[in-house]
Each structure stands twice: as C-alpha cells, then as structure tokens.
Amino acid sequence: MTPQGGMRTPNNPAPVSGPGSLSQRTDGGPTQAATYIPGMPQGQGQQTYDNQVAAPMAGNPFTQNTLEDLQPLLAPTSRKDESVTSGIDIGDGPGSIALGKLPNQEPTIKEIARSLAQYDVSGDSEMLFRTLDDAGY
C-alpha cells in the first residue's frame, strides 16, 4: 500500500508522463540551494530557511555558456552567407521585421510600464500599467 500525503520527490525531471496509473511527475529539475539569512528578527531566519527547504526555488533554466563556446572578437564569421546589415532597415538582408517587430514601431507607455513592473519592487510601475489598462489605453 502506498503512503498517503507528504512530500513526494520526483525524478529530476521525470521523462514524459505515462497515462493513468503509469503517470509520473515531470516538474523536477535543478533547484537553488537553501541558504540561511543572518541578521533577521529572532526566529524569522530559521523560518525562512525551513520554507526554502520545504518548497525549493527553481534553478536557472538557462544553460551557462562555457569558455569553449565563446568566439574571439576578431574570429572569422560563421555566417558567410548572411549580410552584416541583417536585422536593420538599411542595406542587404532581411530588415527589422525578421526580428519579430514592425519597423519604426516604438513601444507604448503601457508596454514599457508592463515590462518595468517585473523588476520594480515598489509596485509603482504595476500601478501605472493597471491604471492605463483600466482606462483602455
């Protein structure tokens, strides 16, 4: 009989999940190490550490480039058939539309506020974005 409740640690990560009773969790993967934060009020540092152990934060999803992957600045190009003006709106090659944006399209203040809201810890950018969104801009 299988145990009820409690933490179940998935394989890191499990392969594609099977059907029905053969299914497995696939949300495993690298996690950040739990760290103790000194200097917090009494008991809060240990509680924070315990929370990190109970629910680990996801690790870096991006692979790190190694030194072998880097190319010297003056190395010969690996794209001999591509124009040096590819991606800009002058010269040979595809223009900026190849980068997924329309030429000469400036971002709106609403788009800027939405982008900034991800990094603004004060919440001001999100408040601006919500105000513009509610107003229909």
What's the pLDDT tens digit per position in 83-105? 888 878 888 888 877 777 665 67
The answer to whether residue 35 is domain-embedded is no
Domains identified in the chain, total number: 1
Does the predicted model carry a pTM greater than 0.75?
Answer: no
Which residues constitute the domain of residue 133? 106-137
The answer to whether residue 20 is domain-embedded is no
The reported pLDDT for the residue numbered 97 is 76
Which is higher by pLDDT, 1 or 32?
A: 32
Q: How many CA within 13 A on the CB side of residue 29?
A: 10
Per residue in 35-85, pLDDT (tens digit) is 888 888 988 989 999 998 888 777 665 556 566 767 788 888 888 888 888
CB within 8 Å of 86: residues ≥ 6 apart: 92, 93, 94, 98
CB within 8 Å of 128: residues ≥ 6 apart: 109, 113
The answer to whether residue 101 is domain-embedded is no
